[in-house]
Every structure is written in C-alpha cells, then in structure tokens.
Structure 1
C-alpha cells in the first residue's frame, strides 16, 4: 500500500513532489535550513543554499549533488541588499527561476533587560531577522512575478506569537516577520505567489545544544505538552508542505511548530 505521507520515500517511487522545482533556502547550511534543503533535494528540487558559513554550505551542497542531483551554495549576507540581489541573480542565472523560497536566516539574542539593551544589539538583530527577510522577499517576489507563480515561507518563531522575558528585541524582530508575511501575502496572492510563515518552538539544533548544554533534557520535559523538543526535520516537513501544491489554498498563515507550547 502506498504511503499517505507525500514526503515518505520508498524504493519503488521516484522523488516527484518537487521534481524539477527550484528552491532557495537562506540560512541553509545548518539546523532547520539544512534539514529543509536536504528534504527538498531528496524530493527532486534543485536547491540553492545561501549562508554566511562558506565551509558548511559548500560541504552540504557537494553532498546534496552527490546524493540527489543539483545543488548550489552561494555565500550570502541577508542583511546586505547587494548580497541578496547577487544571490537571486545567481539563482536565476543557474536555474532560470525560483519556484519556492525559504527565508530561514536569523540570529538569536543574549537575554537582557530592555532598558539595558544597546543600539548595536537592536541593529544587529533587526538587520538579519527582519531586514534580511524584507530584502529577500523583495528580490524573490520580483523573480516570481515574472514567472506568474511561487511560494515563500518565512521562518519566524514561537516568540513571534507571544512575548518572552528579557528577549524584547528578538521578540520584536520575529513579530515583524509575521507582519511582513501577512501583508505581503495579501498583496501578492492575486499574482499567484503564496506567502506563509512557520513559528518553530525549541528545536534540537547545534545552537540550542550549545546554548542550554546539560540543562536541555530538563528543559525539554517542560517546554510543551509533548514533553520534548522538536527536530529540524519536523519543521522542514511543514515548510515543504507550505511550499508544495498540496497547500495551494493556504495563504498568510503563521503556523506554530512547537509541540503545543503556544496552545
């Protein structure tokens, strides 16, 4: 019997769900971005990985080319307009179009009281978490308008849906991502471009492991009703669904992927 999961591969089925699609993933060299790039490549997409970490990005692109076909790494600073423009230009030069884009690049904040936060902290976080999504969408949407269709998924956070103590700047940046998502979704849905967001909770990435260390197992038990932290692959599955034709009537959503924490 065939699996009801459209992303579940078997020995008898070729990867068709994203066959010949072009997918661009920012922050694609690690964590959620890497899991998303791997999933889309496995499902037949030609993947462009954008990240500031050249070594990790080149290594991932080489592995995806070896295992699945076509993949490309482009070193990118999403907070820099010329860098984002070059990324999209390189993607169009190599593959001719962008079918789906995942804006995942982001920074975290060291907990600090609002009154003690510095202007440098504000500028640093906003440059990547909010300006980076805005710049990326600008250039991605222009490319998609020429094609008359496309799908964009912005990666916000559970913190984009609620407040969080001592993380005011990070929280503001992730709320801003959802505002950009909803407004752009309204503007460009009539042009065949669907824009949505995912809001991950605590996800087991190298950054999270480093940040919480030995306290991670206890934190995992109390984070949400499922009593565990999520896996990058679980967020990637949701992103891939939102990018796919299976979500063809889904526009402007902010999807929590958090084990029920927000609920």
Structure 2
C-alpha cells in the first residue's frame, strides 16, 4: 500500500489540467517511465493536443481485459497539488478522481508484466475532464482498441468496494433565447430574454423529471439538470434581448443523447438548443462472466 500511496502522491503533484499542456505531457511521461525495464508494449498517441498511452502485455488492438484511467484533473489552486495526509485520508487534486485509481492500475500492470494470460492493456488518457473525445474516443473509435471487458476504477469519491454496472448518459447543451430590447423604465415595451431562459430551465428540469424511473434502484439514480453558466445583458437599465445558458444533463435511460436532445427540441420549439458534448449511458449485465466471478 505504501508504494501505491507514494505513486498517487507523485501523480497529484503534476498539474495535469487541460490548460497546462506541459503537465499533460509530464504525467504521461511519468506513466511511461514507471515501466522502464519491463517487458511490455508501450504506444503513445496524440490527438487534439492531448497525449495518451497504451501499455500492454503484447502488441495488439484486442485484449481480454483493458484497464482504463484518466490522468487529467480539473483546475485548482496551487496548494491542491501538494498532497497531504490527514486522519488516514489523502487530500489533493485528483486524489479520488482518479489519480489514486491510476496508481493502482500502474502497479497492477507492472505485476501482469510477468504473466502471459490474460492479455491485458492499460489505457491512460488526459482529456476525460473535457469530454474524452481525443483519448478513449479516439483510441476506440479510430485506432480500434477492443476488449472482452473494460475496468475503470474511477470512483469519483464513492465507495471502491463495489462494481458499478451502470452509468448515466450525459448531454451538455447551450440554450439560447431572444427577446426585444427596451428601456428598463418601460419593460412592457420589450421582451426579456433572461426571463425566457428562466422558463426554459424550469421546463427542461420538469421534462427530465417526467422521464425519471418510477422505481429507481437508489435515490441517486435519477435525471439531473445543472445550470452551469449564464450570459446575458449589457446594461442594467436595458431589457436584454439575448440570453444563453449552458446545461449539463445526466440521464438514466438507455436513450441516446441524440434522442434526448430531439425530444427536448420538440418540447421547447421557441428556444435554440445546441449540443456541446454528449455520451451514452453504460449498462453492464449482472450475468456478465466477470461480474459473476466478482
């Protein structure tokens, strides 16, 4: 455990955020150097300025098992990149999401370097926090990596003792509204675009609540809508004629993000809805052989 803790601390110290390309390179180089002298295949990739690496027991595109993790983190103050222990817990940016998990994967992969079966690959990326298109999306969608099973220890602060067999889908959108400008002293002569967006947010939350499962497996398994940003208005004494907000929608159904967006557009024809990022949910059967063994 002390070795894994030491590796986690090393990873936390690296400022591997989206706006710091040098940090992304450094954290991938750390992972590569971790296997110096091991008999493993190491292939580095780059897409959209985001580096990634595949470390495997053999050079192939298909494996029995792929271990997958991301080494990028969201921005934080400098002190968050100085790991510290308190009351038996490790604190620092990425301690849970997911540099501790990646540290475990690094040590696990080093152990499997001495084995031949099962065929195993470790994929480490640096763009999960900004959508994953240039990491896992590129490696599976264009390079063509495949596996019988993929294990991702991305607990995000939750318990690590249980397998997660389902994961919500995500749809991030920009919603725009237009109105009519007027002087604030005569608001009845205008149409307030901000008020229209307030109504749109209320409607979208209500629509997604309608789509909640009637008997969810737990209290957190429900659709959520987060208003992430809001832009409108140029002067306090003017009725705003344009406004836009971004929303992060997490959904529990097996609908595709495109189906969710299409449904919202039909229900809100007065607004402009644009997709920013999306990802389908993940659902693994309890009857999967690996799940049954666990």
TM-score when normalising by structure 2: 0.25
More helix by percentage: 1
Q: Which has the higher strand share?
A: 2
Which has the higher Rg, Structure 1 or Structure 2? 2
> So what's the TM-score if we normalise by structure 1?
0.27
